[in-house]
Copies of this chain bind each other. A is one copy, B any other.
Amino acid sequence: MARKTGSHSDITGPRIRAEAQRLFARHGFAAVSMRQIAAAVGVQAGALYLYTADKESLLVDLLKGHMDDLLAAWAAQPRGGGALARLERFVRFHIRFHLDRAEVVFLSYMELRNLGPENFAQIEALRRSYENELEAILKAGQAEGVFALPDTKLATLAIIAMLTGVNTWFREGGRLSRDTVEEIYWDMARKAVAA
C-alpha cells in the first residue's frame, strides 16, 4: 500500500495539526510521540514529514497561529468609547476567545519552554503586543480619572492572569453559563481597577 484513496493534503494537513494540538494539550509536548499523532490521524509516522519539518515546528505552528488569531480577532472588535467601555469589551472578549480555544491556550502557557530561543522570542513578542492592548486601555482610564492604578503594567498582568484562570476550572454544562462567568469576572475586574 502507498497513497490512500481519497487522500488529499488539504485534508491531512489540518488533521495533523488538530490531532497534534489535542494530544499535546492532553499529555504534554514531550510526552507525545510522532507515531501517536500519526496513529490519531490514521497514517504512518513518515507521512507527517510531508507536512512539518520536525516535531518542534508542529508546536511552533500551533502557538504562532493561535497568537495571530488572537491579535486578529481583537483587532476586529469595535474600538470606540471611553476606557470603561473598552475595558469591558476586552474582558468579555478575552474570556470568550480563550474558552473557545482551551486546548491551544493550555499549550501556549505550558510548552513555551520546548521552543528554541528564536521561536520563543517570537511568541513572546506577540504575547507582549496583546498585553499592550490592555495596558493602553488602563492608561487611558488613568488619564480619564476613572481608574486608579499604582502600576498599569502590573494591573495588566494581574487582570490577564485572572481572566485566563477561567480556563483552568470552567467546564461546559457546569454550574455556570459562559455569560454568567463573563458577568462575574467583569464585575471583579471593573472594581479592581476603579478609581
Contacts and interface: CB of A to CB of B under 8 A. Distances in A.
Contacts of A188: 155, 158, 192-193
Interface in A163-195: 164-165, 168-169, 176, 181, 183-185, 187-189, 191-194
Contact of A28 (B29, B151, B154, B189): B29
Contacts of A165: 157-158, 160-162, 165
A4 interface: no
Interface string A9-50: 000000000000000001111110000000000000000000
Contact of A162 (B31, B161, B194): B161
Contacts of A187: 150
Number of chain A interface residues as a range: 35 or more
Q: Please report whether the interface of chain A is mostly helix, strand, loop or mixed according to DSSP.
A: helix
A85 interface: no
Contact of A154 (B113, B176, B194): B176
